[in-house]
Amino acid sequence: MLTLATAYDYDRLIKALLLPAPLAQRPITQIDDGDINRFLGELMKRKGLNGQLIGPRRINMIIARLRTIFSTAKRRKLIPEDPMVFVKNLREAKAEVDPFTLEEAERLIDAATGQDRTLVSVLIFCGLRPNEALALRWEDIDFDREQIRIRRSIHRFAGVGLPKNTSSEREVDMLSLVVDGLQEQRARTQLRGDLVFLNETGGPLDLTNFRERNWRRILVKASLRRRTVYQCRHTYAALQLSRGENPQYVAHQMGHTNLEMIIRHYARWSRRPERVGTLADQLSAKFPSKKPEISLKMAVAGASSVLGASRSSSQVVDSAGRKAGAGDRGRTGDVQLGKTMGTDLDGVFFGAREALPHLLKTKGSIVNLSSTSGLGGDWGMSAYNAAKGAVTNFTRALALEYGSRGVRINAVAPSFTSTEATAFLEKNEAVKAAFLDRLPIGREATPDDIAGVIAFLASEDAVFVNGVILSVDGGLHASNGQPNFLKLLGQG
């Protein structure tokens, strides 16, 4: 079955080269192999719109269509013999495989910026065909499994259609560099449309425009000789095979039906006997993960505990409260804001991302630590409010997505709690008195108070509790916000 892109190319070739020829005006019963060979000889002398002679590949495409026409005519008994039996294909030049080295690939990525950097990373380190990359939708990106689903391709004129063949519909593993790049790309395009890579008007990127403008500029900036964008795909194969990767795995990643293409094009890279280290390891040295430190520690230590979790176990993803970064009115600098978000939001986000693949197997649960400050605003604490508010809605969103898949996600929202982080407040009697005045229970919370509620949400007793932000606030939210008039009047 032809793809839309291939059908479009054949249609253009037939209309431009075959139908105007005298051969096409003759009855099919009067055409022999001599007529066809003379027609092909004339084609070899013709020039295309670019002023160059029509190449063997295009002529062979015409020959392929003629074979179909005459074999169909013979099958339908319109002609006694098929003249194409005596017509040979032209010899085509072997496709040039000229991949970038790892050092050159790194220079390319360093030279690219913004969306171009992400696109180049995907092309080089996932091995996608350019038209597959430009057809990617956000629904195709599985950050939990760190995979890209290839389900479509895009053609400049034929539009979006199926990939090249059935084996091209595949799941491609992402390296950390690609994951980080696509996470950044979400902020650029996810709210503007379904496609991962968009042009300025919100439509799909045009490959020809990228190739002629952006790609050339990147090559020049990286001080690299001119090579086609498609060499990025060849680069993926060469880098993986030269580092000892399984050829069958590489074939699957690239969407090949079998090993034939791998052997034909990349044998000289797979013959190298030495193994210089996996591609992922070498990339991590040049492009360290952008996950915050707390997430990196979880990946090394915390995730191992999740792997051993039983069916009833839960992974509690906690983010400690801080007094830092609570400033308002422009007092919170970029560094302090980053620290606040890194501790109170990024730790929750990346921790959940590490835990969820394992919790999907164990059917456990997540309990995030939000805050009453994530349910409303505070004076002088805008950064903290923003971080905890994000945790609150992040919890709700995950609950919607993973509840039906057997993983419950809830959060607790404590009020003023006695910890090292709040010690400076407790030392101020006026501040402490103002806090306690708002708490009907008459005292601040302790860590044990919060831990008991977390234990409940993580237990089988809460098996039907999902997406809840449980306030652990001593009755703070029972009030409508008005002061205690009776106490002020001396009657309470």
φ/ψ of 180, rounded to 5, equals -60, -40
pLDDT bin (cut points 50, 70, 90) of residue 492 is: low
State the pLDDT at residue 5. 61
SS3 category, 30:
helix
What percentage of the chain reaches a pLDDT higher than 90? 44
The pLDDT value recorded for residue 295 is 44
Q: What is the pLDDT of residues 445-455, one digit of tens each?
A: 888 888 889 99
| Model confidence pLDDT, tens digit, residues 209-267 | 999 999 999 999 999 999 999 999 999 999 999 888 888 899 999 999 888 888 888 88
Does the pLDDT at position 441 exceed 80?
yes
**Region 389-418 average pLDDT:** 92
Over residues 421-443, the mean pLDDT reads 76
Q: What torsion, rounded to 10 degrees, do the Cα atoms 19, 21, 25, 26 define?
A: -120
Distance CA 330, CA 261 (A): 59
pLDDT score, position 486: 67
Nearest partner of 445 among 371, 377, 387, judged by Cα? 371
- pLDDT value of position 290: 61
Question: Does 172 or 475 have the greater pLDDT score?
Answer: 172
- Confidence at residue 2, expressed as pLDDT on a 0 to 100 scale: 60
Return the pLDDT at 271: 53
Apex 59 CA angle, 53 and 64, nearest 5: 170
Quick one: pLDDT band at residue 135, thresholds 50, 70, 90?
Answer: very high
Q: Which of 134-138, 167-171, 202-206, 284-288 has the highest mean pLDDT?
A: 134-138
Q: Place 162 in a pLDDT band, splitting at 50, 70 and 90.
A: confident
Position with higher pLDDT, 457 vs 486: 457
- In the chain the domains, ranked by start, together with CATH numbers, are 4-86 (1.10.150), 102-285 (1.10.443.10), 293-478 (3.40.50.720)
Residue with the bigger pLDDT between 166 and 171: it is: 171
Indicate if the pLDDT at residue 328 is higher than 70. no
Query: Residue 269 pLDDT > 50, yes or no?
Result: yes
Question: Distance between CA atoms of 82 and 70, rounded to whole angstroms?
Answer: 6
Query: How far is residue 68's CA from residue 80's CA, in Å, rounded to a whole number?
Result: 15
Whether the pLDDT of residue 296 is over 60: the answer is no
pLDDT classification of 310: cutoffs 50, 70, 90: very low
Q: Is 384 a catalytic residue?
A: yes
Tokens of 366: 């997540």
Strand partners, 411: 368, 469
Per DSSP, the residues of 189-205 read: HTTT-SBSSB-TTSSBP
Q: Which two structure tokens, joined as six digits, stand for 217?
A: 């500029």
pLDDT value of position 336 = 57
Q: From CA 391, how far away is CA 382, in angstroms rounded?
A: 14
More confident residue, 272 or 142: 142
pLDDT-wise least confident of 15-24, 175-184, 264-273, 363-372: 264-273
* Percent of the chain whose pLDDT exceeds 70: 83
- Tokens 């009907």 correspond to 440
* pLDDT for the residue numbered 101: 94
SS3 at position 2: coil
Which residue of the set 236, 266, 384, 402 is catalytic? Answer: 384
Higher pLDDT, 439 or 30: 30
Given a cut of 70, is residue 299 above it in pLDDT?
no
List 171's β-bridge partners, or say none: 149
pLDDT band of residue 128 (cuts 50, 70, 90) is very high
* Position 312 pLDDT exceeds 50: no
Q: Give 333's contacts (C-beta < 8 A, 6+ positions apart).
A: none
Report the pLDDT value the prediction gives residue 442, as an integer from 0 to 100. Answer: 79
Q: Across all residues in the chain, what is the average pLDDT? A: 82
Is 420 a residue whose pLDDT tops 80?
A: no
Provide the pLDDT for residue 98. 92
Q: How far is CA 48 from CA 53, 62, 190, 439, 463, in A?
A: 6, 14, 41, 83, 70
What distance in Å separates the CA atoms of residue 9 and residue 235, rounded to the nearest whole number?
27
Q: 135 exposed, middle or buried (CB, 10 Å; 0-12, 13-18, 19+)?
A: buried
| Distance between CA atoms of residues 99 and 412, nearest Å | 52
pLDDT 10s digits, 329-361? 444 445 456 667 777 888 888 888 888 888 888
- Write the CB contacts of 293 (distance below 8 Å, at least 6 apart in sequence): 342
Helices (H) and strands (E) in the chain, counts: 22, 8
pTM: 0.52
Q: Of the spans 195-199, 297-301, 332-336, which averages the highest pLDDT?
A: 195-199
Once rounded to an integer, what is the mean pLDDT over residues 464-487? Answer: 82
Q: CA-CA distance, 472 to 454, in Å (whole number)?
A: 10
